[in-house]
Structure 1
Amino acid sequence: MNWAWLPDGSAEVHKVGVFKKSASTGEELNLDEDRIFWNFETNKPLRSVCSESCSPGTRVTRRKGEPICCFDCLACSEGEISNETDSTECTSCPEDFWSNPQRDHCVPKIMEFLSYHEGLGISLTTISLIGTLICAIVLGIFIYHRDTPMVRANNSELSFQLLLSLKLCFLCSLLFIGRPMLWTCQLRHAVFGISFVLCVSCILVKTMVVLAAFKASKPGGAGIMRFFGAVQQRGTVLALTSIQAIICIVWLVSASPTPHKNTEYHGDKIVYECDVGSTVGFAVLLGYIGLLALLSFVLAFMARNLPDNFNEAKLITFSMLIFCAVWIAFIPAYISSPGKYADVVEVFAILASSFGLLGALFGPKCYIMLLKPERNTKKSIMGRGATKT
């Protein structure tokens, strides 16, 4: 039966179909749709619900003061899901998972670290290996020319030790690349600290020998060089490096660095990094390197105007200036860099300072030995020739 409005404003009910319970399935109801009167334009029956069902990925929020069938569908927050229709609440994903864009199921979080397979990791690894190769080549040049005045006048033993320590500095940067593991987290800063202290100690002793040699050339200073013999030089380098080794051992024993899953930077990512364990230990390690570098710079600066036969002090001054500038800039950049970019900043500082020391200390000497052999003479080294070094 259908209730229809007539033109005069009255209404009547008339038959528009028939229902036969005995008919076969699907044929019980027969309607004559042309006789049906619709009171709205869509010519479709209205749905008898206030709100449509909420799809997965959303949750039901009741409308205050309205019937229970009236509600809104709100999308689940990031990190939460709902996988049922008309869910009344969203469920948080497990710690290592995150919600997909549709918020209807959890997916594993992206693991982020400085990898050997990404562009940054490949570039830094390549630069590190190139620096190591250059150190090996320079060491070979110095060994080949070890009997020439240039090498002998610049303390060949300390130069060899310095080149070996620079190779360690370049190679230690590789420990900062790749998935952090317990042994890499423990070794990366220990090897870095010891390698750079060994390097700076060699430079410091070279500077002290330069100053001692100049004083020994003055009247009454002949006996000063007995305090700066080969044994004393090796002992000083060993003692200064041993202090850093003790700092590293105490740090590793008291508060060892460990791998850490950091979820604070990005909700959908796990930043896999090395927790330094003790910030004080890390600060003492860097502070000791800085102290030796500053002392080397001050001594070399004092000796920069010595006669030309001691002009290596000028190279040491320049190299220490580069070294200190790099590591002073490193501290604020490291603190403000999130996640894997903190490792990138540290590796960059290691490589930049290593290349600075290598280029400033050994570049001019290799230039003379390879391209200006006529200047590699005792007369030229002592500054008595027309051409000076």
Structure 2
Amino acid sequence: MQTPPQSRCSQSCSPGYRKLAREGKPLCCYDCIPCPDGEISNQTDMDNCMRCPEDQWPNEKRDVCIPKIISFLSHKEPLGIVLMLLSLFFFLITTVILGIFIKYRDTPIVRSNNRNLSYILLVSLILCFLCSLIFIGHPEEVTCFLQQTAFGITFSISLSSILAKTITVVMAFQSTKPGSKLRKWMGSRVSYSVVLSFPLLQVLLCLVWLVTAPPFPHLNMQVEDGTIQIECNEGSAIAFYCVLGYLGFLAGISFIVAFLARNLPGSFNEAKHITFSMLVFCSVWVSFIPTYLSTRGKYMVAVEIFAILASSSGILGCIFVPKCYIILLKPHRNNRKYITKK
């Protein structure tokens, strides 16, 4: 018995594939090719694939659309847990150092270079470590509002305190010269005016940002196939970089003044420690910008958190750890004779 001839020269295309006619061949001759990314076919021998809705993605077989995976830096994932623990660790360390400074507030090493500025700087660093926690979790309208503004304002307080401490060092030595007119400026007036005025400019900048183009939660569906990245859109990239630029300006001024004052007499001239802390701060944020621009989604958030933690811990380690070392382990150096020794 003879087999009847087939009326087609190709097998049926399964779901997940579409037909592609062979050039110069009859219509029944075609190739089966997989549906492209973002499209499916749920029937056999389909001529064209169907695009999935924007919030869905093809399954592995490309025969049905499934919801995209929601992605953000969560408290429950390993990366989020590590960053959260680091933030809390540095928060606790800074709180302990603040307690040490309060306990030993009447010792020469704490009183030197304005202890109240040290308190302000330590409190602002505590806030810097805590503000990094705002970046972790599901982005909401309130958290998007707070992330960059809280970061910008707390860091401006820290850097203004450092600048005020640096100016205090310079004025303290210059005022001892015969006939110096800086003696009448010595005291808390100059340092407190610096701490108040410079953060105030950052607050005004942040207010303009929030009024004109505030940050908002954004569903980014184009970054990675099969995922929806929930992230905080800055609203205005110009305002974001203005906030960063202002912090860079404060750090640069502090670095220059501290660098010029590094060779002033005194065994515990704090300008040397401030110079190194500003060098660490600037290095972190200069490397942050290209890294931030080259990443997307939750990894972009992680990069900013890491920069906040690294720069804040750099300031803490360079300025306060040497003092704590002397207070706790070398108490015989905690005297006026050692501090003023040339």
Q: How many residues align?
A: 342
SS of 2:76 mapped into structure 1: coil
Question: Higher relative contact order at CA 8 Å, sep ≥6: structure 1 or structure 2?
Answer: 2
Selected match of 2:323 from 325, 342, 365: 365
1:275-315 CA deviation, whole Å, 9 max, x = no partner?
11111111111111111111111111111111115611111
Given that 1:210 and 1:310 are in contact with CA atoms closer than 8 Å, whether structure 2 keeps it comes out as: no
Which sections of structure 1, spanning at least 5 residues, go unmatched? 1-35, 39-43, 385-389
Q: Residue 61 of structure 1 aligns with which residue? A: 20
1:340-365 CA deviation, whole Å, 9 max, x = no partner?
22211111111111111000000110
SS of 1:271 mapped into structure 2: strand
SS of 1:353 mapped into structure 2: helix
Whether 1:218 aligns to 2:177 is yes
Q: Residue 309 of structure 2 aligns with which residue? A: 351
Q: Residue 280 of structure 1 aligns with which residue? A: 238
Cα distance in 2, alignment partners of residues 118 and 128 from structure 1? 15
Given that 2:223 and 2:296 are in contact with CA atoms closer than 8 Å, whether structure 1 keeps it comes out as: yes
Given that 1:309 and 1:382 are in contact with CA atoms closer than 8 Å, whether structure 2 keeps it comes out as: yes
Q: Which aligned pairs between 1:34-53 and structure 2 lie closer than 5 A?
A: 36=1, 47-53=6-12
Whether 1:76 aligns to 2:35 is yes
Q: Residue 291 of structure 1 aligns with which residue? A: 249
1:207-236 CA deviation, whole Å, 9 max, x = no partner?
111111101111012x52432422442232
Structure with bigger helix share is: 2
Given that 2:220 and 2:231 are in contact with CA atoms closer than 8 Å, whether structure 1 keeps it comes out as: yes
Cα distance in 1, alignment partners of residues 45 and 260 from structure 2? 80
TM-score between the two structures when normalised by the length of structure 1: 0.84
Which stretch has the larger CA shift, 229-238 or 342-351? Answer: 229-238
Residue type of the alignment partner of 1:251: W
Change (3 A) 1:71 1:171: same
Structure whose CA Rg is larger: 1
Residue type of the alignment partner of 1:67: P
Which sections of structure 2, spanning at least 5 residues, go unmatched? none
Given that 1:262 and 1:272 are in contact with CA atoms closer than 8 Å, whether structure 2 keeps it comes out as: yes
Selected match of 1:313 from 264, 271, 278: 271
Given that 1:80 and 1:103 are in contact with CA atoms closer than 8 Å, whether structure 2 keeps it comes out as: yes
Q: Residue 196 of structure 1 aligns with which residue? A: 155
Selected match of 1:179 from 131, 138, 154: 138
Cα distance in 2, alignment partners of residues 213 and 192 from structure 1? 31
Residue type of the alignment partner of 1:266: E
Change (3 A) 1:383 1:49: same
Cα drift, residue 65 of structure 1: 4.0
Whether 1:88 aligns to 2:37 is no
Q: Residue 226 of structure 2 aligns with which residue? A: 268
Cα distance in 1, alignment partners of residues 58 and 37 from structure 2? 6
Q: Residue 374 of structure 1 aligns with which residue? A: 332
Given that 1:98 and 1:106 are in contact with CA atoms closer than 8 Å, whether structure 2 keeps it comes out as: yes
TM-score between the two structures when normalised by the length of structure 2: 0.95
Which stretch has the larger CA shift, 360-369 or 181-190? Answer: 181-190
Cα distance in 1, alignment partners of residues 163 and 186 from structure 2? 12
Whether 1:205 aligns to 2:164 is yes
Q: Residue 129 of structure 1 aligns with which residue? A: 88
Cα drift, residue 101 of structure 1: 1.3
SS of 2:110 mapped into structure 1: helix
Selected match of 1:167 from 126, 129, 142: 126
1:3-29 CA deviation, whole Å, 9 max, x = no partner?
xxxxxxxxxxxxxxxxxxxxxxxxxxx
Residue type of the alignment partner of 2:226: D
SS of 1:315 mapped into structure 2: helix
Which stretch has the larger CA shift, 309-318 or 345-354? Answer: 309-318
